[in-house]
Amino acid sequence: PVEPDRAATGRWLLRYLGVRASAAGDTLITLVATAPDGPWSGLGEKLSARLPGLRGLTLDVTPEPTNAIFAGAERPLWGAADLAETYGPVTVRLTGAGFGQVNRDQAAALYAAAPRAALAPLASGAPTTTVQDLFTGAGALALTVARTAGPGGPAILGIERDAAAVERGSAAAAAQGLEGHCTFVAGDA
C-alpha cells in the first residue's frame, strides 16, 4: 500500500495524484511523491486493466514540503509521458504537470477570438512584424495565431520558462508545418 501524505509526522510518500483527460478520452495519471522509489512497479498495468483510456502513468518527485503541486521533473512509469490535445485547428502534447486549458468550451472561444485580437493591428496598418505569446506553455495559442495569420503573416514568438514545454511547442509547430513561422524560446516573460 502507498502511505498518504502525512506532513505533520514527516512520514509520507504519495502527496498528490494528478489526472489529465483529453477530449479524445485518453487519460494520463501523474503521481506526485516525496521520493522516486516506491511501490510503483506494475501499477500502470493494474490501472490500465481498470481504466481502458489510460495511456500513461508518470511520477513527479517533490521531496520538499511545499505548496507547489508539481516539481516539473516527471518521468514515465508506464506508457506515454504525455497526451495529445486539440484546441481548434492545432494539436499540442501536454504532460501531467504542464498547463492546458481545462474548460474546452471556453478554450475554443478564447482560441477563436485571440488570433483576431492579436492580428488586428496589422489590419490597421501598424508595423507589427512579430506577435508574442507570453507564458505560452506548449504553444496552443501561439500555434492558433500562426495558423490564422498564414504564411505571409507576422512571425509568432512563444515565450515560456519551462524548457520542456518549449520543446513540445517546437515539435507541435514542426508537426503542423508551422516551423519558421512560429518559434518558441525558453525565457522568463
SS3 95: coil
Q: What is the CA radius of gyration of the chain?
A: 19
Mean pLDDT of the 147-168 span: 90
Tell me: pLDDT of 7 over 60: no
Beta strands in the chain (DSSP E): 14-21, 27-33, 54-61, 74-79, 83-87, 90-94, 130-134, 155-160, 182-186
Q: What is the pLDDT of residue 3?
A: 52
Cβ-Cβ contacts under 8 Å for 178 (sequence gap 6 or more)? 143, 146, 147
Q: Kindly report the number of other CB atoms within 10 A of residue 56's CB atom.
A: 23
Q: What is the pLDDT of residue 173?
A: 95
Would you say 118 and 131 are in contact if contact means Cβ atoms under 8 Å apart? yes
Q: How far apart are CA 45 and CA 185, in angstroms?
A: 37
Q: How far apart are CA 82 and CA 111, in angstroms?
A: 22
Q: What is the pLDDT of residue 86?
A: 86
The model scores a pTM over 0.85:
no
Mean pLDDT of the 167-174 span: 94
Q: What is the pLDDT of residue 1?
A: 47
Q: How far apart are CA 108 and CA 26, in angstroms?
A: 19
Q: Over the stretch 115-151, which tens digit does the pLDDT of each residue have?
A: 988 888 877 777 767 899 999 999 999 999 999 988 8
Mean pLDDT of the 154-159 span: 93
Q: What is the pLDDT of residue 108?
A: 84
Q: What is the pLDDT of residue 47?
A: 95
Would you say 137 and 98 are in contact if contact means Cβ atoms under 8 Å apart? yes
Q: Over the stretch 43-100, which tens digit does the pLDDT of each residue have?
A: 999 999 999 999 999 999 887 777 777 777 789 999 999 999 888 888 888 988 888 8
SS3 76: strand
Among 6-20, 152-166, 168-182, whose mean pLDDT is lowest?
6-20
Helices (H), the chain: 43-50, 104-123, 140-149, 163-175
Q: How far apart are CA 65 and CA 53, in angstroms?
A: 32
Would you say 125 and 170 are in contact if contact means Cβ atoms under 8 Å apart? no
- Characterize the bridge pairing of strands 54-61 and 74-79: antiparallel
Indicate the pLDDT class of residue 30, thresholds 50, 70 and 90. very high
